[in-house]
């Protein structure tokens, strides 16, 4: 895979517990710092956010795709949040500088995704085509197929010639 890290910070990864109306740290071991990175897949032009605990087994505490519709909120200087399809996520940064670095990375990812979507091209790589293009197929069809009509004894007749066969369409 062609992924590269565009930003790396230290933060506590949090999820909002809607039932208890409070933020809770993700993963085991409570409120420990994680190494949080934004990765860019240059082939597919996609981004994702990955966080691993810095202590112990380096447990993955978040692996979240970044979508152009993501609503990113810098709630405070040290706490930023966003929502995906299932969760509300938050990062409690160890410093304002780390928060600024992460915000710059996130805004860059969102700008790239929005600009790419606005260009009218799919974010998926184009498949390699074996054989004639759609334009070439249309040219071949037109070359080998002719439709004509004429009047004959008061009745209109439509004739279609395709691949050497003539069909009379009334």
CATH, residue 90: 2.30.29.30
Residues 159 and 105 in one domain: no
Q: Are 113 and 151 within one domain? A: no
Please report the pLDDT score of residue 151 as a whole number.
47
Burial of 45 (0-12, 13-18, 19+ CB in 10 A): middle
Residue 90 lies in a domain: yes
- On whether both 100 and 53 belong to a single domain, the answer is yes
Report, as an integer, the average pLDDT of 23-47. Answer: 92
* HEC-encoded secondary structure of the chain: CCEEEEEEEEEEEEEEECCCCEEEECCCCCCCCEEEEEEEECCCCEEEEEEEECCCCCCEEEEEEECCCCCEECCCCCEEEEECCCCEEEEEECCHHHHHHHHHHHHHHHHHHHHHHHCCCCCCCCCCCCCCCHHHHHHHHHHHEEEEEEEECCEEEEEEEECCEEEEEC
- Residue 166: the pLDDT is 55
Joined together, the tokens standing for residue 80 give 């930023």
Residue 102 has pLDDT above 60, yes or no: yes
Q: For residue 122, which phi and psi values (nearest 5 degrees)?
A: -70, 150
For residue range 38-97, list pLDDT tens digits in order: 999 999 999 999 999 998 889 999 999 999 889 999 999 999 999 988 899 999 999 999
Kindly state whether residue 124 falls inside one of the protein's structural domains.
no
Check residue 122 and give its pLDDT. Answer: 46
Q: Are residues 66 and 146 in the same domain?
A: no
Q: Would you place residue 123 in the very low, low, confident or very high pLDDT band (cuts 50, 70, 90)?
A: very low
Edge-to-edge strand list for the sheet holding 145-152 = 145-152, 155-162, 165-169
The pLDDT tens digits of the residues spanning 155-166 come to: 554 545 555 555
Both 77 and 25 in one domain: the answer is yes
pLDDT for residue 27: 87
In a domain, residue 134? The reply is no
Asked if the structure places residue 150 within a domain, the reply is yes
Both 107 and 152 in a single domain? no
Co-location of 41 and 110 in the same domain: yes
Q: 76 with 160, same domain?
A: no
**Do 15 and 95 fall into the same domain?**
yes
Averaged pLDDT of the chain: 79
pLDDT at 118: 61
Structural domains counted in the chain: 2
Same domain, 107 and 156: no
104 token code pair: 């710059």
Domain for residue 154, yes or no? Answer: yes
Domain that includes residue 161, residue range: 142-169
Say yes or no to pLDDT of 144 above 50.
no
Asked whether residue 27 is assigned to any structural domain, the reply reads yes
- Residue 132 falls within a domain, yes or no? no
pLDDT at 50: 97
Same structural domain, 77 and 155: no
Percentage, residues of the chain above pLDDT 70: 68
34 falls within a domain? yes
CA 121 from chain centre, in angstroms, equals: 12
Residues 74 and 149 in one domain: no
What are the residues whose beta carbons fall under 8 Å from the beta carbon of 11, sequence distance 6 or more?
Answer: 33, 34, 36, 51, 91, 92, 93, 94, 98, 99, 102
């Amino acid at each position: 895979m062609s992924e590269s890290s565009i930003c790396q910070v230290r933060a506590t990864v949090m999820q909002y517990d809607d039932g208890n109306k409070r933020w809770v740290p993700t993963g085991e071991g409570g409120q420990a710092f994680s190494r949080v990175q934004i990765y860019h897949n240059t082939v597919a032009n996609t981004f994702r956010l990955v966080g691993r605990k810095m202590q112990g087994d380096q447990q993955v505490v978040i692996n979240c795709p970044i979508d152009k519709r993501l609503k990113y909120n810098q709630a405070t200087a040290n706490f930023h949040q966003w929502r995906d399809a299932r969760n509300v996520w938050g990062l409690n940064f160890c410093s304002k500088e780390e928060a600024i670095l992460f915000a710059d990375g996130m805004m860059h990812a969102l700008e790239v995704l929005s600009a790419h979507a606005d260009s009218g091209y799919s974010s998926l790589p184009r498949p390699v085509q074996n054989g004639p293009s759609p334009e070439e197929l249309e040219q071949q069809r037109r070359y080998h197929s002719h439709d004509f009509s004429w009047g004959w004894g008061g009745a209109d007749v439509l004739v279609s010639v395709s691949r050497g066969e003539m069909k009379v369409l009334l």
